[in-house]
Chains A and B, each alone.
Chain A
């Protein structure tokens, strides 16, 4: 028994563009690592396995499983589709089971027809016999061979997807717990016997009642008590049935709570990151508006009345203007001086007298002679020719205009020298805003990455997360209500039981027929058988759970070994409805809270490992353990521990991981990746090591993943 996957190949499947030859991973016993960054094909690889085994794929946008046959267009390589030519998409797994080699291929042929794609599915299964591949034709045989890869009952524990990991270990639901116990102990027969003994016990009880009534038909008092007893017993049966219903409802609510709780941390994380992103976006928007406002204001700053940038370097013009004004004042004064007329005293000679005096060469004012061209004659002539008083009554006066101009621009004399400083400050403010925007954008990007890592999707899942939180609250309320109802019903049964004992005593005191004794014995014997069988079943359950708890704790300690913060101890707590709650206790037996998702997942992983190793004793799990991104919340220490422990538990594991990836490194590995690779090369860790790379940048639909085998 047991299966080893030898290879997994892809053809035009999501990112895996090209033929099977170009996209095949060869695997060995031990750990097979495929190290890839986001969008480099980890989940697509996992979906290839899901398609083969379950005919489903996980839609990471919708965050749910989808039927593969309704997702072919999403599954096909975007690049192959964009080429527009016919192509085949497929996944192939070759494996060895019980020394027989098999090959399973699921394919879809894509053919273009009138502009649309027409698809045709194929399932090819081959068995290698004596080095010859023989096709398996019968559909049932094909299905049986697919089941050989991982049997259906183990698939829950062997296929692990980071996002849904918390939902896999199902001890909190009655069905989940039963199937886990059954998977571990195979006690179905015992359960059937318990059911049978219950039925027999009921029948003997009825037989006893009938007989007692028949025998005591004459005693009114006894028949009355028997009637009351039957009524009470009826009530107890009805109430017990009701309790079972309550318990089923309680179990369902707990199951729902458990599933929601698994997502709740992520949901709360997503809600938190969503809030952070929103806040950052608002902040960025506000800062951009501020910056925009500042930038818009630049042209108005050119015309600022207090410090107009436009006038930079033009201060001297104000001085020139001032100088010109002063010159004008001087010019006007000079002009006035030059043009002022000589004013003669009252009674001075008029023009004709002056002309006569020049002609006669006699000054009529003093009576002396004034020879021509002599000093006195020239004086008379000067007086005659004195400038006329020609001051212009229409003369302009623009001084007030110049003055108003100077007043208007005067303030610039002081502000122009400050323009450089004003500009510098302004530029610095815009730079500051730019820096703040970049900072906030980076913080937003970080929050966005955290949001995506927490399972966030670009598609608005806001409402889904809100619904999850609302559903969780409702599930909690239902649990409280059902627990209360169960308690009330059980209290009622206790009271009825007391009354039943009293009735028995009363009947005995009155004295019933001795004949009834053998029926009573029979009834009591059957009740004892029922009690013993149920106790046995419960004891086996408890023992299995105890052993599981011990085993899970061993694995948990191994996985968390070396971690600085203690991960506490796993505590399996049996609930009133028979289910088990697993919590983490601290050394004082108190509930350990505040542990990250890493610890929570480690808890689940420990339980899975415990279930697997409990089932097979000291041997290893003989089927491939395939896990997509189980470590997205784990630290390096956890990852290291996992690689040490996994080969002891799983014969073969295929681990899709991004925590060893470093896009800046030449070999795409971070320090931890290099360490693990070295251990593999040394043979300390058995297995293979692949790194997925994207050689050409493209949008997500056109991505092409290639693999680099480091150890194979």
Chain B
């Protein structure tokens, strides 16, 4: 298998989010007008919300995996997310942690296609873990510090809080 096949394999996947965050995601995605500014600050597209939540989870170093019986929803196929460079950055971040979830790069070079399938599934599961941890964090903010979402800089502030 070559690199483009692996890219395609990952790209076909539809990362999921937990049903419990649907309202939140609706509220902070595409609310108001198309460019993402209504009563509350919001993102232009749902997958951007997902990418943002992933970064939050990643920065927190926390994952919130979707359990087997837990209700969840699929997102847009990963290959369609944009901007491509940010999407690739997320791939890079996960690849940087692949050893943590049991896959050395060198082993992947020799792995069978079945193993690669398993790797890709785990790769996406890891992504979901971080993203849902991000949603959990945002949900908490939404519930307890709702007014801050009226500030157009809210999503910057949340990131800044995690850095400082």
Show the binding face of A for B, using Cβ within 8 Å. Answer: 292, 295-300, 302-303, 305, 308-314, 317-318, 320-321, 324, 327-328, 331-332, 335, 392, 395-406, 408-409, 411-412, 423, 427
Contact status of A310 and B159, CB under 8 A, knowing A299-B36, A327-B105, A395-B109: yes
6 example contacts (A-B, Cβ-Cβ < 8 A) are as follows: A299-B44, A303-B51, A305-B86, A332-B109, A398-B108, A402-B3
With A and B bound together, what is the CA distance between A398 and B86 in angstroms?
A: 20
* B29 → chain A closest CB, angstroms: 10
- B128 → A minimal CB distance (Å): 18
With contacts A300-B35, A317-B93, A321-B96 known, is A400 near B86, CB below 8 A?
Answer: no
Neighbouring A residues of B23 by C-beta, 8 Å: none
In Å, the complex CA distance between A335 and B33 comes to 56
Q: Do the beta carbons of A400 and B2 come within 8 Å of each other?
A: yes
- Asked whether any CB of chain A lies closer than 8 Å to the CB of B148, the reply is no
Q: Which of B6, B37, B51, B92 contacts A310 (CB 8 A)?
A: B51
Whether A401 pairs with B3 at a CB distance below 8 angstroms is yes
**In the complex, what residues of A have CB within 8 A of residue B43's CB?**
299
Given contacts A305-B83, A320-B96, contact A313 B163 (CB under 8 A): yes
Query: B67 within 8 Å of A by Cβ?
Result: no
A217 to B59, CA, bound (A): 130
**Given A310-B159, A399-B3, CB of A296 within 8 Å of CB of B86:** no
* B2 → chain A closest CB, angstroms: 5
Known: A298-B153, A303-B48, A398-B6; 14 extra A-B contacts, CB below 8 A, are: A299-B44, A302-B156, A303-B51, A305-B85, A305-B86, A308-B89, A311-B86, A324-B95, A328-B105, A397-B3, A398-B105, A400-B3, A402-B105, A405-B95
Q: Which residues of A contact B155 (CB under 8 A)?
A: 298-299, 302
Contacts of A303 in B (CB 8 A): 48, 51, 83, 86
Min CB gap A582→B, angstroms: 61
* Residue B114, interface by CB 8 Å: no
- Give A234 Cβ to nearest chain B Cβ, in Å: 83
- Which residues of the other chain, A, contact B25 by a CB distance below 8 angstroms? none
CA gap between A100 and B36 in the complex, in Å: 78
Q: How far is the CA of A411 from the CA of B92 in the complex (A)?
A: 14
- Residues from chain B with Cβ under 8 Å of A295 in the complex: 37, 41, 152
Is A423 within 8 A of B96, CB to CB? no
- Per the bound structure, the CA–CA distance linking A357 and B43 in Å amounts to 78
B111 CB–A CB distance under 8 Å? yes
The chain A residue sitting closest to B98, CB to CB, is A324
Q: Is the pair B85, A312 in contact by a Cβ cutoff of 8 Å? A: no
- Contact between B88 and A408 (Cβ–Cβ < 8 Å)? yes
Q: Does B7 contact A (CB under 8 A)?
A: yes
A300 — which chain B residues lie within 8 A by C-beta? 35-36, 44
Chain B residue with Cβ nearest A321 = B92
Contact partners of A328 in chain B: CB under 8 A = 105-106, 109
Contact A423 B110 (CB under 8 A): no
Chain A residues with Cβ below 8 Å from B59 are 313-314
Could you tell me the distance in whole angstroms from the C-beta of B25 to the nearest C-beta in chain A?
A: 14
A residues less than 8 Å from B6 (CB atoms): 396, 398, 401
B window 9-68: CB within 8 A of A: 33, 35-37, 41-44, 48, 51-52, 55, 59
When A303-B51, A328-B109, A402-B3 are in contact, do A309 and B156 touch as well, CB less than 8 Å?
Answer: yes
B91 contacts chain A at the CB level, 8 A cutoff: yes
CB contacts (< 8 Å) of A409 on chain B: these are: 85, 88-89, 92
Cβ-closest 3 pairs across A and B:
A401-B3, A400-B3, A295-B152
Given contacts A401-B6, A409-B92, contact A302 B52 (CB under 8 A): yes
Q: A395–B2 Cα gap in the complex (Å)?
A: 9
Give the residues from 131 to 156 in chain B that come closer than 8 angstroms, CB to CB, to chain A.
152-153, 155-156
Q: Does B69 contact A (CB under 8 A)?
A: no
Q: Which residue in chain A gives the minimum CB-CB distance to B84?
A: A408
Note all chain A residues with C-beta closer than 8 A to B93.
314, 317
Closest-by-CB residue of B relative to A427 is: B153
- Is there an interface contact between A311 and B2, defined as CB atoms closer than 8 Å? no
- Least distance between A110 CB and chain B CB atoms (Å): 44
Contact of A402 among B37, B48, B95, B159 (CB under 8 A): B95
Q: Which residues of B contact A318 (CB under 8 A)?
A: 92
Once bound together, how far apart are the Cα atoms of A418 and B41, in whole Å?
Answer: 24
| A399 and chain B: residue at smallest CB distance | B3
Q: Is there an interface contact between A311 and B163, defined as CB atoms closer than 8 Å?
A: no
Check A398–B156 contact: CB distance below 8 A: no
Contact B7 A404 (CB under 8 A): yes
User: Nearest residue in A to B159 (C-beta to C-beta)?
Assistant: A312
Given the known interface contacts A324-B96, A401-B6, A405-B92, the answer about A332 and B106 at a Cβ–Cβ threshold of 8 Å is yes
* Shortest Cβ distance from A305 into B: residue: B83
- Chain A positions within 8 Å of B108 at CB level: 396, 398
Q: Which residues of A contact B91 (CB under 8 A)?
A: 405
Alpha-carbon distance between A298 and B3 when the two chains are bound, in angstroms: 35
Chain B 90-105, CB within 8 Å of chain A: the 1/0 string?
0111011000000001
Contact A292 B37 (CB under 8 A): yes
CA–CA, A401 and B105, complex, Å: 12
* Contact status A400-B4, CB under 8 Å: yes
B35 CB contacts on chain A under 8 angstroms: 296-297, 300
* B8 nearest in chain A by CB position: A401
Is B160 an interface residue, CB under 8 A from the partner?
A: yes
- Docked CA distance A163–B108 (Å): 90
Q: Measured between alpha carbons, how far is A320 from B99 in the docked complex, in Å?
A: 13
Nearest A residue to B28 via CB reads A299
The residue that A317 contacts in the complex, of B96, B111, B160, B163, with Cβ under 8 A, is B96
B58 to chain A, nearest CB (A): 8
Residue of B nearest to A310 (CB): B55
Q: Which of B85, B95, B153, B160 contacts A321 (CB 8 A)?
A: B95
Q: How far is the CB of B86 from chain A (nearest CB, A)?
A: 6
Report B60 CB to chain A, min CB distance, Å. Answer: 13
A299 to B41, CA, bound (A): 8
Q: What is the CB-to-nearest-CB distance from A177 to chain B, in angstroms, rounded to a whole number?
A: 66
Assess whether A311 is in contact with B55, with CB atoms less than 8 Å apart: yes
CA distance A405 to B86 in the complex (A): 10
Most buried by A among B3, B59, B85, B93: B85
Please name the residue on chain A nearest to B37 by beta carbon: A296
Hey, which chain B residues are within 8 Å of A427, CB to CB? 153
Contact A310 B2 (CB under 8 A): no
A365 to B93, CA, bound (A): 59
**Cβ-defined contact, B85 with A412, below 8 A:** yes
Closest to A403 in B: B3
CB distance from A658 to the nearest CB of B (A): 40
Inter-chain CA distance A320–B2, complex, in Å, is: 22
Q: Is the pair B3, A411 in contact by a Cβ cutoff of 8 Å?
A: no
The reply to whether A404 and B86 contact each other, CB–CB distance below 8 Å, is: no
Taken together as a complex, chains A and B put the C-alpha atoms of A309 and B52 apart, in Å, by: 11
B92 touches A397 (CB 8 A): no
Instruction: Give the contacting residue for A405; candidates B44, B88, B159; CB below 8 A.
Output: B88
Q: What separation, in Å, do the CA atoms of A676 and B88 have in the docked complex?
A: 79
Would A401 and B7 count as touching, CB distance under 8 A?
A: yes
**Residue numbers in A under 8 Å from B44 (CB-CB):** 299-300
B121 in the interface, Cβ–Cβ < 8 Å?
no
Q: Give the docked Cα–Cα distance between A327 and B95 (Å).
A: 13
- For residue A302, which residue of chain B has the nearest CB? B155
Q: How far is the CA of A408 from the CA of B88 in the complex (A)?
A: 7
